[in-house]
Amino acid sequence: MLKVEHIGIAVKTLAESVPLFEKLLNSQCYKTEVVESEKVNTAFFKTKDTKIELIESIEKNGVISKFIDKKGEGLHHIAFEVDNIETEMERLKNEGFILLNDKPKKGADNKLVCFLHPKSTNGVLIELCEEIK
Amino acid sequence: MLKVEHIGIAVKTLAESVPLFEKLLNSQCYKTEVVESEKVNTAFFKTKDTKIELIESIEKNGVISKFIDKKGEGLHHIAFEVDNIETEMERLKNEGFILLNDKPKKGADNKLVCFLHPKSTNGVLIELCEEIK
């Protein structure tokens, strides 16, 4: 794990949360991106090495909508940047962690990603990500 | 907000979670600390500029126990390092955010800290922290 690449926050609407986080972080949202594979809209903020990613569901029954229904808006996941995602997935699998996808998939922000099941990580949804070169 | 100083994770017991996070992060816990004012035990990991702080309640009815009863183990707060905590508290108060303490208080890891009420921050418990010089 090289660093905390970003922290994902589930929000009901980017329209309301982007201005709120601009005030909170005292910095402008520098990018929004639709992630079709996950059916979400995302908005990014920079704080030194770690990004803050706000996530809004596109669909009523998407994973983010379900998360908000269950737990309310708030912290959703931590993403760690790794050198080689396949090597790290193999290492974690061998350590007993449950991977949510067998192969890296295309995520937001030009990344290959893999999620770990929160059941195996103390309730924390962990994302591994590697920049696509 | 200079950077994400640490991410706080609520756990039932450090005895179980420290070895789990050592495997997950592939790095050793480098420090544990009792924070009497908050009635918690903490354990720290380094990932580049951002620390991961595991938090265990000392008391059955402490804030961390209550958090786990309600939401389960998992992501608890994000701490942002700031240059001058009093200036930043003033700025955020003027922006309409609700501060959970009026004056900075002594937190873990040699820091002055202030928390923002999650009601005003999209459900995310935010900590401001400034290193005590």
- Per-residue pLDDT 10s for chain A (133 aa) are 899 999 999 999 999 999 999 999 999 999 999 998 889 999 999 999 999 999 999 998 899 999 999 999 999 999 999 999 999 999 999 999 999 999 999 988 899 999 999 999 999 999 999 999 8
Element (H, E) at B35: strand B31-35
Q: What whole-number distance in Å separates Cα of residue A14 and Cα of residue A21?
A: 10
Please tell me whether the interface predicted TM-score (ipTM) of this complex is above 0.90.
Answer: yes
Give the nearest partner residue to B75 out of A11, A75, A116, using CB atoms. A75
> A-chain residues within 8 Å CB-CB of B44?
none
Contacting B with CB below 8 Å, chain A residues are: 1-4, 7, 9, 11, 17, 20-21, 23-27, 47-50, 71-78, 80, 91-92, 95-97, 116, 118, 121-124, 126
Per-residue CA distances from A117 to A100, A114, A126, B83 (Å): 6, 10, 7, 36
> A-chain residues within 8 Å CB-CB of B122?
9, 11, 17, 20-21, 73-74
Give the nearest partner residue to B78 out of A7, A92, A116, using CB atoms. A7
Binary contact (A4, B118; C-beta < 8 A): no
> B-chain residues within 8 Å CB-CB of A71?
71
Binary contact (A47, B2; C-beta < 8 A): yes
Q: Which two tokens stand for residue A5?
A: 């690449």
The nearest CA of chain B is from the CA of A75 a distance in Å of: 6
Q: What whole-number distance in Å separates Cα of residue A1 and Cα of residue A116?
A: 14
Per-residue CA distances from B109 to A59, B44, B58, B79, B113 (Å): 42, 9, 17, 12, 10
Q: Which two tokens stand for residue B57?
A: 């309640």
Q: Are A56 and A64 in contact (CB under 8 A)?
A: yes
pTM for this structure? Answer: 0.96
Q: Are B126 and B116 in contact (CB under 8 A)?
A: yes
* Tens digits of residue pLDDT in B67-124: 999 999 999 999 999 999 999 999 999 999 999 999 999 988 899 999 999 999 999 9
Residues with Cβ within 8 Å of residue A133, at least 6 apart in sequence: none
- Please provide the DSSP assignment of A56-90 as one string: EESSTTSHHHHHHHHH-SEEEEEEEE-S-HHHHHH
Dump strand ranges (E) for A1-133.
Answer: 3-10, 31-35, 40-47, 50-57, 74-81, 105-106, 111-116, 126-131
Per-residue CA distances from A7 to A61, A62, B90, B104 (Å): 22, 19, 25, 25
Binary contact (B50, A92; C-beta < 8 A): no
> How far is CA B118 from its chain centroid?
13
Q: Which two tokens stand for residue A89?
A: 């997935």
Instruction: Tell me: pLDDT of B37 over 90.
Output: no
